[in-house]
Structure 1
Amino acid sequence: MKTITLFTAIFFQCFALTAQLHKSIPPGGNKKALVGEQIGITDVVIHYDRPGVKGREGKIYGTPVVHKGFENLGFGTSKAAPWRAGANENTTIEFSTDVKIEGKDLQAGKYGFFIAYETNECTLIFSKNSTSWGSYFYSENEDALRVKVKPTAMDKSVEWLKYEFINQTENSATIALEWEKLMIAFKIEVDLVKTRLENYRLAFRDKDGFRWELMDEGARFCLTNNTNLEEGLEWSNTAISFSQNFTDLSTNANLHDKLGHKTKSDSIMKIAMEKGSLVELHQYGRKLIGEKKAKAALDIFQLNAKKHPKDFTTYVGLARGYSANGDYKTALVNAKLALPLAPNDLNKTSVQAFIPKLEKGTDIN
């Protein structure tokens, strides 16, 4: 009995190994591939097989290789099948969050991807069936979304079909199928604010809900994007209950300010500034200059001068602060005081560039 059991185990191990080897070699000499990137925090992954042109230039599109529209392929259950947008198995595309495809909503999930090719306009199909072989079993009833796009001619030929992420922004990207001399592309967009907020909410229900750094990060995200400010303030209040430092206190103060709690904001910011380091105060002052709050920025640089007198960074901050307020004479004095204290050549060169600008009455910020 033990011999039979051992034989059976060896047989199935060999069978599994054979199956794995077989699966790793796609038929027809095609190449297996996957490509994926993040758009915002949304994972997008495409699995596909890559057919080659193999000397068929001009004989790919509108032929049995990539047939037009929907056809009966003579096998499977589909009587009106689109192109499989690759070779062999289903081409699949997976989204970790909800997205928009060419402006139309598509829920998070894994989809079979098909294309009904036409010379002037292609129909892209995202199917709930992502496990069938090719498009032989395609059913319109399983469509999750259809969009139409125009194919684009390319100057150079692409031998092996490929998918690429192009034209990327913070919250969008275009996915381009390129093969032979044709590109079929579609735009994906994500709601970055919504997905980030949902991600923070999930994280704060786990162990990350005890990390002031992440709580503060979520609060600052709300502040920066001017969204969900009350929720951001709750996160910030939790952060400062764990640890009070310049970073999380200034976030809390700025949220109160955005919500119109001026007195509360001022009192918290006063505590934050007392805790701020030389560099933290300097960076905060520069941030205020960027927000066109020149007077408030100068106050921060002057506080830094009281806490850290006769320091290179202090003098540079004062030069920037006075310059932002139009007092170029005092700014010039501080720039000249900073120059001999420069810690390296890069800083020295930077301050040297301030001096002729200030002498001409030009803002250095």
Structure 2
Amino acid sequence: MRHLLSIAAVCSVMGAVSLAQGVPEVKLPPSPTGQAAVQLGGTWDKTADGPTYRDGKWILVDYGRPLLRGRKEIFGSGSDYGKTVYGNATIWRAGANNTTRLTTQAPLLIGGKTIQPGVYNVFVELKPGDWTLVLNTQPVQEKYDPEDKVRLAGAYNYNSKFDVVRAPMKVST
């Protein structure tokens, strides 16, 4: 027992010393990026170059992770519902920072419509209790250019003429 207490004391002192030395300054993004991916079918085969995925398809979603940053509700309430995440845009980019992108190698059935393999922008129209998922093919700015009023920057410059599908969603808690 005495031996265990000695080890605990040494670990505590070492932890305090490392904290006193300070943590190196790391510049973090305002909202970290994320990616979700799923494989459909296919197999992983061992090859001379390492594991290789064959005869399957991928679906990927690239997004920015929204953070509350002191807000109690990210979407707001009442007549202000959605305004916080819309910013000055007319629709929510279904994430933070950049335009959320869906890449699919397989056809998808969304809202009764078949979506062909490709890359799509993901948006959500927000209304309390009823959301609308929007997939869109509008070109995206690789680097923000405030003079570019055609290509997307997040959800700014969104134009519904590029919408591929609009599917109602139900929200419940």
- TM range, normalised to the smaller chain? 0.5 to 0.7
Q: Quick check: which one's helix share is greater?
A: 1
Which runs of structure 2 are paired with 1:304-319 in the superposition (5 Å)? none
Offset, 1:93? 0.5
- Pick aligned residue for 1:65 from 68, 81, 84: 84
Instruction: Find runs of 4+ consecutive structure 1 residues off by over 6 angstroms.
Output: none
| Greater C-alpha Rg | 1
Aligned residue identity for 1:38: Q
Q: Is 1:54 aligned to residue 63 of structure 2?
A: no
The share of aligned pairs that are identical, in percent, is 27
Q: Quick check: which one's strand share is greater?
A: 2
Offset, 1:116? 0.2
Aligned residue identity for 1:32: T
Question: Deviation digits for residues 315-352 of structure 1, max 9, x if unmatched?
Answer: xxxxxxxxxxxxxxxxxxxxxxxxxxxxxxxxxxxxxx
Residue 154 (structure 2) aligns with: 134
Offset, 1:25? 5.6
Q: Which has the higher contact order (CA 8 A, sep 6+)?
A: 2
Which runs of structure 2 are paired with 1:60-99 in the superposition (5 Å)? 60-61=75-76, 62-67=81-86, 73=88, 81-99=90-108
Counterpart-to-counterpart distance in 1, 2:64 and 2:130 = 23
Question: Deviation digits for residues 113-142 of structure 1, max 9, x if unmatched?
Answer: 000011121111100025221111111111
What do you get for the CA RMSD once the two structures are aligned?
2.2
Counterpart-to-counterpart distance in 2, 1:130 and 1:83 = 17
Counterpart-to-counterpart distance in 1, 2:28 and 2:121 = 21
Residues 122-131 or 44-53, more deviating: 122-131
Residue 38 (structure 1) aligns with: 39
TM-score normalised by L of structure 1 = 0.30
- Is 1:44–1:93's contact at 8 Å kept on the other side of the alignment? yes
Aligned residue identity for 1:91: T
Aligned residue identity for 2:75: I
Aligned residue identity for 2:129: N
Task: Evaluate the alpha carbon distance shift between residue 63 and residue 110 of structure 1 in structure 2; reply closer, same or farther with a 3 A threshold.
Answer: closer
Question: Deviation digits for residues 162-183 of structure 1, max 9, x if unmatched?
Answer: xxxxxxxxxxxxxxxxxxxxxx
- Pick aligned residue for 1:118 from 120, 127, 147: 127
Give 3-state SS (helix, strand or coil) of 2:157's partner.
coil
Aligned residue identity for 1:44: I
Aligned residue identity for 1:152: S
- Is 1:110–1:130's contact at 8 Å kept on the other side of the alignment? no
Give structure 2 stretches of 5+ with no counterpart.
1-26, 42-55, 141-151
Residue 113 (structure 2) aligns with: 104
- Is 1:92–1:130's contact at 8 Å kept on the other side of the alignment? no
Aligned residue identity for 1:145: V
Which runs of structure 2 are paired with 1:226-241 in the superposition (5 Å)? none
Counterpart-to-counterpart distance in 2, 1:95 and 1:25 = 30
Give structure 1 stretches of 5+ with no counterpart.
1-23, 74-79, 154-365
Aligned residue identity for 2:169: V
Which runs of structure 2 are paired with 1:272-311 in the superposition (5 Å)? none
Aligned residue identity for 2:137: K
- Is 2:82–2:126's contact at 8 Å kept on the other side of the alignment? no
**Equivalent residue pairs, number:** 118
- Is 2:60–2:103's contact at 8 Å kept on the other side of the alignment? yes
